[in-house]
Structure 1
Amino acid sequence: MQVLLPPLDAHVRDLCFGAVQEVTLVSPWLKAASLRPILTHCRERGLPLRILTVAALRDFVSGASDVEVLADAIACGADLRCVSNLHAKVYIADGTRAIVGSANLTPSGLRENLEVAVLIDDRDEVQRLATAISGWFAVGRRADGAWLGACLSNPIWPHLWGRKDAGATTYRMATGEKRLTQTGS
């Protein structure tokens, strides 16, 4: 075990970029600037990516999370699940190494805030942690293109992004559909 002090972004990036089998990310809040490099890395290497997050409308409205990065994750084939009472922040590579700490997968959490984490490289402990998280995944709501489309059909989306087609654009990114008709737009 190793204590990690801020900034934590390089530690999380190195953990994820060092994976050769699978990456698991657990963070209530997700921002594009922090998640997109990991999405790109996993997609380019064909690595399975599991993401557990909250994905609450209030978090998108407040700017704590970015809905568009969830669309990117879905488009990349990530197994994205949502759990409303999630507070843990855990990043696992290959089921053998993990970072557990206080930092969300956001620029604030990884670079700006005073956060702390520990790197766990004891295989048995990481497996124990991974098993617990798999249980959370099992009860989490699957977030796929249909889920995203339902979320984005909420009339608040155009107001959040300041344009009428914002929700439709993100939905098309996630599902690959060329056209979406929104009701109430």
Structure 2
Amino acid sequence: MPTNHLDPDADALLETARIINQSVSPAHLDSVRASLEYLYHGDGDVTPESLQDTTHCNLSTTESENIVYQLAVENIVTKDHINEPALRSAFTGARLLAAQAPEPENTIVATIPDDDALDAWMFEALHGNILELIRSAEDTLVLMSPFLSEDAYNRLRPALVTAADNGADITLITRYLTYGDEDYNREFVRAVLNDDRLAPQVTTYEYIDDSTWTTFHAKVVIADGVRAYLGTANLTHKGLGGNLELGVIFRDETAPRLTELVEALRASEYLHEVSLRRSQFNRL
């Protein structure tokens, strides 16, 4: 086995375990792990399709895509490399997650930078919890972030595809699409609206009063009106994996109240629906 690949860190292993736990029942974990090892050592053809064909637990296309993509992103299983200890750790973690007690009503989450003064385990990982929240959506999903980045889209895409495949209608609210000089938000939204798996279910808005420049700075993700993230992190590469960020995943009555806020915004004259035509953003 090649040894010139960095081992995934604790957060990467935890997120991989979460994705596996979401996709595979405890009874089939050993079978799926063995299938991945067999495919790699056989001909190296570890694809969502080959994983579906090899296992006998009726993995959906989305489930197999999520597993294979995550393993590749974290350099656990790629076309030219397999980290079998990390693979087994991720599947062990999935088994432990499946055996855990039900989640609490609310969870404090954080992005902890590489700072010797801070303990990465002080709070649950913000990135992983937002991905799990997005994947859980089956009816509606709201993403409200004043700043976005294309790197964040790459991180969020598998979870967004899962929500779309679940049938969720996705509302994206941001800034700086039809005005402003920075292109970060436009890169994220272009990637979403050019993605055939996502675009049909996405409605995009920008929130701005053109005369006073009143806008928003809230960062919110809401799934099905009953689970929500509220915190400091933008949906950017720094917000999800660099800056010190704090937030809360709400599963109590707070989530419906945040949903009411978003629904009220739909009547606001500051909220403008935006479309993408020939790479240009236009208000409808």
Q: TM-score, normalised by structure 2?
A: 0.47
The answer on 1:26 being equivalent to 2:144 is: yes
1:4-153 equivalence runs, <5 A: 4-6=109-111, 7-35=125-153, 36-56=157-177, 57-58=179-180, 60-61=182-183, 63=184, 66=187, 67-72=189-194, 75-84=199-208, 85-122=215-252, 124-139=253-268, 140-145=271-276, 149=280, 151=282
Question: 1:3 maps to what in 2?
Answer: 108
Cα separation, 1, equivalents of 2:259 and 2:158: 23
Gaps of 5+ in 2: 1-105, 112-124, 209-214
Residue identity opposite 2:170 in structure 1? L
Cα separation, 2, equivalents of 1:39 and 1:120: 19
SS state at 1:145 partner: strand
Cα separation, 2, equivalents of 1:58 and 1:120: 33
Question: 2:46 maps to what in 1?
Answer: none
Higher relative contact order (CA 8 A, sep 6+): 1
**1:14-48 CA distances to partner (integer Å, 9 max, x unpaired)?**
01111222211110112233233343223323211
Q: TM-score, normalised by structure 1?
A: 0.69
SS state at 1:109 partner: helix
Structure 1's consecutive aligned runs of 4 or more residues displaced over 6 angstroms after TM superposition are: none
CA contact (8 A) 2:132 2:159 kept: no
SS state at 2:267 partner: helix
CA contact (8 A) 1:83 1:141 kept: yes
**1:108-136 CA distances to partner (integer Å, 9 max, x unpaired)?**
111111100011111x2211111111222
Identity, % of aligned positions: 27
Quote the RMSD (CA, aligned, Å).
Answer: 2.5
Q: Rg bigger for which structure?
A: 2
Gaps of 5+ in 1: 152-185
